[in-house]
C-alpha cells in the first residue's frame, strides 16, 4: 500500500501543481472531505455515517493528494478554499439540519 501511495503522490508532485487537473482534484477533495465530515457528525442514519466515514478516510490527504501539493494549493488559493469549505459546509449542515437522536431520548 505504501508503494502505491508513493507512486501516486510522486506523479502529482512531478506535475505542475497549478494545472487544471490538480486544481479540480484539490477542490473536489476539499468539498468531499467537508461534506463527509459533516455527514458523519450530523446524520441520523448509522449506515450513512459509516459510508461517509469510509469515503472520508479513503479520500484522505496522502491517498488522493500529497501533503505538499495540498498545502501548496491551500496556501495559494486560501480564499477559494475557504469559500468551498463554507459553501459545502452550509449545504451539508442544511441537509443534515436535525441532530441525531440519542438513545433513550424522547421515550
* 55 close to 29: Cβ distance less than 8 angstroms: no
Q: How far apart are CA 66 and CA 78, in angstroms?
A: 17
d(CA 46, CA 25): 28
Which of 92, 103, 96 has the alpha carbon at shortest distance from 44? Answer: 96
**Mean pLDDT in residue range 25-31:** 93
Per-residue pLDDT of 81-99, as tens digits, reads 999 999 999 999 999 987 6
Establish how many alpha carbons lie within 13 A of residue 8's alpha carbon, considering only the half-sphere containing its beta carbon: 15
What confidence tens digit (pLDDT) does each residue in 56-82 have?
A: 998 887 777 888 888 889 999 999 999
> Can you give the pTM of this predicted structure?
0.74
Work out the average pLDDT over 25-45. Answer: 93
Amino acid at each position: 500500500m505504501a508503494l502505491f501511495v508513493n507512486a501516486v503522490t510522486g506523479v502529482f508532485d512531478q506535475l505542475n501543481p497549478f494545472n487544471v487537473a490538480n486544481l479540480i482534484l484539490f477542490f473536489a477533495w476539499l468539498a468531499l472531505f467537508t461534506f463527509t465530515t459533516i455527514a458523519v457528525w450530523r446524520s441520523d442514519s448509522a449506515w450513512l455515517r459509516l459510508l461517509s466515514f469510509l469515503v472520508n478516510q479513503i479520500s484522505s490527504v496522502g491517498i488522493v493528494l500529497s501533503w505538499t501539493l495540498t498545502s501548496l494549493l491551500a496556501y495559494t488559493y486560501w480564499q477559494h478554499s475557504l469559500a468551498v469549505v463554507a459553501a459545502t459546509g452550509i449545504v451539508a449542515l442544511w441537509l443534515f439540519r436535525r441532530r441525531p437522536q440519542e438513545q433513550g431520548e424522547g421515550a
